[in-house]
Amino acid sequence: MRCDPFPPETKDGIPPFEVIEGGALRRLVLTCDHASNRVPAPYGDLGLGASSFERHIAYDIGMRGVTRMMAERLGATAILSTFSRLLIDPNRGEDDPTIVMRLSDGDLIPANARVDRAEIDARVARFHRPYHDAITAQLDALEAEGETPVLLAMHSFTPRWKTFARPWHIGLLWDLDDRVAKPLLEALRAEGDIEVGDNEPYDGALIGDGMNRHGTGRGLPHVLVEIRQDLVADEVGQAAWAERLARLVPPLLGRPDLNRVAHYGSRAELRRR
C-alpha cells in the first residue's frame, strides 16, 4: 500500500484532502471528515486562541490516526480531510445552514460570525467540494472495476455532553440501510468489554451528511463509526481501536448483501411523504 502525495495545493496553501490508495481490501473505503485541525494561512486562527484548535470543535480527536492505521493494516482505501471543521464542515451538505459554524459548543468563531454566502461558496469550492469529489472518484473507480464499495465514516465524540457522561465506548450511526450496522453491532457487543451505542450518541439520519451523500444516495453499504475521544487521544489508544476494527470488519465483507447496490432511502425522506 502507498500513500499518495497530497493533491496540488489550493491557492490558500493547503491541500483539501489526503488519499491512501487501497491494496488487498481497497473496496473498504474509510472516510475521515474531521481528520485535521489545520486552517490555511489566509484565514489565520479564525479569531480564536490556540487552545480552541485542541478541542473537539476543531476536529475529531484521534481519528486521523485510527483511520490511517486501519488503512495500513487492511490495505483499505482512505480519504481524509486536511482542514478544520471550524473553516467549513465536510460532514454537512452544501446548503446546510451549519456548514460554517458561527458558534460551536460555547465558542464564538469571530471570522465566521458575519460570513456571507459568497464566502461560504468560496470555502465550498476550495475545500468542501474537492474533498467530496475525491471520495466520489474513489467510489466510481471501484465500481468501474466491478466492486461494491463498503463505506465506514470515521468520527469521534466527546466523553461528556454538558452534564451527561456518555457511557458508550463506541457508537454506530445508521439510517435505514442496516447491512453494515447490524452485523458490526453484533460483533462489537460480542467483544464483552465495551459499551456499544446503536445510533448513539447521535442519530444517523442526517440529510446531506457524508454517509447520506455517498452511502444512501448511491445505494452502497455504509455505517458511521463514533469512538469516544478519551479512548483515542494517544497513539496507544488509536492503535488499539484500529486493531479491534481491523479484526472485526473484514469478516463481514463476505456477506452477500454487501456485494450489491440497494437503495433503502432515509427516515427523513419518509417523514416528508
Cell 474513489 sits on residue: 138
What b/e string do you get for 2-13 counting C-beta neighbours within 10 Å, with b at 16 or more? eeeeeeeeeebe
Average pLDDT over residues 89-95: 95
Cell 485535521 sits on residue: 36
**CATH superfamily assigned to domain 2-272:** Zn-dependent exopeptidases (3.40.630.40)
Residues 18 and 131: their CA atoms lie apart, in Å, by 8
- pLDDT of 103 reads 83
pLDDT for residue 26 is more than 70: yes
Whose CA is closest to 71, among 212, 195, 250?
Answer: 250
The full DSSP string for 208-230 is: TSHHIIIIITTT--EEEEEEEGG
| Cβ-proximal residues to 9 (8 Å cutoff; 6+ apart), any chain | 15
Where does the pLDDT of residue 4 fall: very low under 50, low under 70, confident under 90, or very high at 90 and above? very low
What pairing do the DSSP bridges indicate for beta strands 170-173 and 196-198?
A: parallel
Look at residue 51 and give its three-state secondary structure: helix
pLDDT for residue 263 is more than 70: yes
pLDDT for residue 10 is more than 70: no
- The H helix count followed by the E strand count for the chain is 7, 12
**Segments in the chain forming alpha helices (H):** 63-74, 117-123, 129-144, 181-189, 210-211, 235-248, 267-272
| Cβ-proximal residues to 130 (8 Å cutoff; 6+ apart), any chain | 7, 10, 16, 17
pLDDT tens for 139-198 read 999 999 999 999 999 999 999 988 999 999 999 999 999 999 999 999 999 999 999 999
Alpha carbon of residue 237 to chain centroid: 18
Strand ranges across the sheet with 170-173: 2-3, 17-21, 77-81, 28-32, 150-157, 222-228, 170-173, 196-198
Query: Omega into 201 within 30° of 0, i.e. cis?
Result: yes
Burial class from Cβ neighbours inside 10 Å (0-12, 13-18, 19+) for residue 143 reads middle
- pLDDT of 81 reads 98
Evaluate whether 1 touches 57 at the Cβ level (below 8 Å): no
What's the grid cell of residue 219?
445505494
Where does the pLDDT of residue 12 fall: very low under 50, low under 70, confident under 90, or very high at 90 and above? low
- pLDDT of 244 reads 98
Look at residue 159 and give its three-state secondary structure: coil
pLDDT for residue 66 is more than 60: yes
Where does the pLDDT of residue 7 fall: very low under 50, low under 70, confident under 90, or very high at 90 and above? low
- pLDDT of 104 reads 77
Q: What is the residue extent of each domain of the chain?
A: 2-272
pTM equals: 0.93
CB atoms near residue 255 (< 10 Å): 13
